[in-house]
A and B are shown apart, each in its own frame.
Chain A
């Protein structure tokens, strides 16, 4: 370590000499652009640092990774668009074969040509059991992937899987680099090479990721030439550095974003999301497993107040994994807050109020524990609000905090305040949340939900390639959830971003539970125009 520090000191000394010479001949204008306010650079503050930048280990699997491209990409409306594929895939009539024609003339940022072999390499490596990819299950439907010539890739599936094309937004890695090293710890995991609009120039772990525009990008060279993601875990520090002008944009929690409401140079964007918070009601619990209790809780809970009080209005009441403004939402399945109805349901089912106000039926007290992740303030507030609403209906919910290690062994019997949400396809959330055969499989179906009608509908929903038919299937699921809610869905949470106004009006994508690196208004930073900056470019 001393050698290292000596080396740093020597490098630093050399750098001083260099910087002094550079400063001597710099013009006043260049001195200004040092703070990141140059017209073609943007610096944003993010809260999470990726573990790895290798798509083979799961990075960018939901698309939009900036360094890489998938075969397909999602646009602002979450519709699939061709990316490294020249067109949307051809799907065979039985839904078992997906054929992708590849875009011609695409090069990786090191100059090597992209081809079918890279696609096959990427998927086959992910399927390899030696690859530590925790998201492999998502590609479970794939039987095999093969190259047909230089420019065609064919996927064959084990069973018809309608949302499969949504999975092919997964970034493609170059075989000539990633194929020559340890897939789990090689240099490719920190120094990625892709075909995307940006090239990673530096990843200073714990500090920032620096990107420069890829001038040879097949989709056209981006206008924002330098793009930096500063990793600032603490919310307050991020807000402070945004205010000090260090950052051009940042993700912020609602209470801190509010502080920028009056700032004319900054604009706040609320990204719609599929990010839900829900309470699991395990079937194995005598109280939470009772259908009357579940239905009563579903109407006893005051979702709108949670949105107003906990989320400062940045969110929506949730009645299922599908948000109310999604095209997949079944109109008419909203459950307004109705305490009287909740009490009536419980009375009719034989849950009579005891001496202390807590209901009792056949000697069973209407009480169960609700776990939330310790340290997660948002989940804690949701849990407390839920318990207080339930209390009014005579159900005693005891909130307890713990880490996942503490919570997991209790999931079978105790309620958990869970979160999730992936927007690309309704199958992604509903299948893993509700399928009875997945009960207790890792974190899938945490509520041990078991409903034959739902099982049949979600199975139909993933197998049919016809959109109307799929919609019908997911309508059935949502109507069943009204009759027998295995979860109490509480809210869908908007993600808030504050960005410097000079980048003009920006858009956001519908976002998942996970904050990806490229979520937020910078989801399409390669398309940002800098016309309003300085006026030098007319």
Chain B
């Protein structure tokens, strides 16, 4: 198990290197102009001389490989450079926002997994029953519903019609101290929306997995031996029905990141996702590369995690990756 984790970590090094180079190459080839993005509306009245000076100051007139190499060598020494779009060091940008994004994504993930598994098991117990039919059709609908739209709907219903939950922000707009109560109540809607938008996949996988397992011989055998329904369901069916879902956990990470992007925007959540979009459209090389490293690392970790879980849940699987 440790060997597999170690080998994956070694493997991650060239992957991250290639990915950052890819980011620089794609950004350099993109039609967006970093100078124009930096200057914003002021650029529309700036003289060409002024813009040329900016280009030199920002270092974007350097060739692609030189820029990437500069970034990589200083990043290895712990200096991630300065973000041109945020006008501050990349490390500060990430430190300011990362915690909030992790909090949002982790809560949403937890909601999706717990609720998805719970409902999935219940639905699988009586396939075609009223609960199964209700939840399944809702799940199919949710699969198609964009997180953005769900967010607006949630704001309209819970913040506007019922007035029970805040419509956005990390804390009340008027308050500038971050307290647990404030953050907790402001987290409910965005995390629920993000969680619910991820829920269908978990639900459908678990439902299918458990339903299949219930029809398998070992489970039928267990039932025949007179074990309680509870033991059969949770001890046998769920255990093998969970397997495909564990793989799903890892593969949902990228989806979670893109979903967070929309949800953060709708709810004015001060996370990293909104900064990512800005970094991309502004060709902010330093920030974009750092964020890509983080996203790649998250995906690799997600895959590792699901493989480890899979191995733990199913002893037949060897930790060889």
Question: B interface, how many residues as a size bin?
Answer: 35 or more
Which chain A positions have C-beta within 8 A of B163? Answer: 244
**How far, in Å, is A78 (CB) from chain B's closest CB?**
19
Which chain A positions have C-beta within 8 A of B84? Answer: 132
Q: Which of B12-20, B67-75, B175-183, B216-224 contacts A (4 or more CB under 8 A)?
A: B175-183
With A4-B99, A240-B160 already in contact, the answer to whether A185 and B88 are too (CB < 8 A) is: yes
Evaluate contact between B270 and A129: CB separation under 8 angstroms: no
Is B140 an interface residue, CB under 8 A from the partner? Answer: no
Mark contacts of A421-459 with chain B using CB atoms, 8 A cut-off: 1 yes-contact digit, 0 otherwise.
000000000001000001001111000000000000000
* Distance in angstroms between the alpha carbons of A444 and B38 in the assembled complex: 18
Evaluate contact between B54 and A204: CB separation under 8 angstroms: no
* Distance in angstroms between the alpha carbons of A443 and B155 in the assembled complex: 41
**How far, in Å, is A212 (CB) from chain B's closest CB?**
8
Which chain B positions have C-beta within 8 A of A442? Answer: 43-48, 50-51
Mark contacts of B79-122 with chain A using CB atoms, 8 A cut-off: 1 yes-contact digit, 0 otherwise.
00011111111000111111110110010000000000000000
Evaluate contact between A190 and B87: CB separation under 8 angstroms: yes
With A5-B103, A129-B53, A208-B169 already in contact, the answer to whether A134 and B38 are too (CB < 8 A) is: yes
A441: contacting residue among B47, B166, B167, CB under 8 A: B47
Which chain A positions have C-beta within 8 A of B159? Answer: 240-241, 244, 246
Is B215 an interface residue, CB under 8 A from the partner? Answer: no
Which chain B positions have C-beta within 8 A of A7? Answer: 99
* Distance in angstroms between the alpha carbons of A266 and B261 in the assembled complex: 32
* Distance in angstroms between the alpha carbons of A432 and B271 in the assembled complex: 39
Which chain A positions have C-beta within 8 A of B167? Answer: 237, 240-241, 244, 246
Evaluate contact between B45 and A210: CB separation under 8 angstroms: no
Mark contacts of A249-292 with chain B using CB atoms, 8 A cut-off: 1 yes-contact digit, 0 otherwise.
00000000000000000000000000000000000000000000
Which chain B positions have C-beta within 8 A of A61? Answer: 42
* Distance in angstroms between the alpha carbons of A43 and B87 in the assembled complex: 26
Which chain A positions have C-beta within 8 A of B274? Answer: 206
Evaluate contact between B173 and A137: CB separation under 8 angstroms: no
Mark contacts of A218-244 with chain B using CB atoms, 8 A cut-off: 1 yes-contact digit, 0 otherwise.
000000001010111110110011011
With A240-B159, A246-B167 already in contact, the answer to whether A134 and B39 are too (CB < 8 A) is: yes
Which chain B positions have C-beta within 8 A of A134? Answer: 38-40, 42-43, 46, 50-51, 54
* Distance in angstroms between the alpha carbons of A4 and B93 in the assembled complex: 13
Is B170 an interface residue, CB under 8 A from the partner? Answer: yes
Evaluate contact between B87 and A233: CB separation under 8 angstroms: no
Is B172 an interface residue, CB under 8 A from the partner? Answer: yes
A206: contacting residue among B53, B172, B264, CB under 8 A: B264
* Distance in angstroms between the alpha carbons of A15 and B178 in the assembled complex: 8
Evaluate contact between A246 and B173: CB separation under 8 angstroms: yes
Is B227 an interface residue, CB under 8 A from the partner? Answer: no
Which chain A positions have C-beta within 8 A of B96? Answer: 205
**How far, in Å, is B173 (CB) from chain A's closest CB?**
4
Secondary structure type dominating chain A contacts: mixed
User: Which residues of chain B from 164 to 195 have a CB within 8 Å of any chain A CB?
Assistant: 166-170, 172-176, 178-183
Which chain A positions have C-beta within 8 A of B168? Answer: 230, 232, 237, 241, 246
Evaluate contact between B173 and A204: CB separation under 8 angstroms: no
Evaluate contact between B170 and A207: CB separation under 8 angstroms: yes
B268: contacting residue among A13, A34, A52, A207, CB under 8 A: A207
Which chain B positions have C-beta within 8 A of A103? Answer: none
Which chain B positions have C-beta within 8 A of A438? Answer: 47
Evaluate contact between B180 and A19: CB separation under 8 angstroms: yes
Most chain A CB within a 10 A radius of its CB, from B46, B53, B106, B174: B174
The 3 nearest A-B residue pairs measured at CB: A36-B174, A134-B39, A16-B180
**19 extra interface residue pairs, beta carbon distance < 8 Å, beyond A206-B275, A226-B174, A240-B155:** A8-B99, A11-B178, A15-B183, A19-B179, A54-B87, A132-B58, A184-B82, A187-B88, A202-B176, A205-B270, A208-B176, A210-B176, A228-B176, A230-B173, A233-B268, A243-B160, A244-B163, A404-B33, A444-B47
Q: Which residues of B contact A (CB under 8 A)?
A: 31-33, 36, 38-51, 53-54, 57-58, 82-89, 93-100, 102-103, 106, 152, 155-156, 159-160, 163, 166-170, 172-176, 178-183, 264-266, 268-271, 274-275, 294
Q: List 11 A-B contacts (CB under 8 A).
A: A15-B183, A19-B181, A34-B172, A43-B174, A137-B50, A185-B88, A205-B270, A236-B152, A243-B160, A404-B36, A405-B36
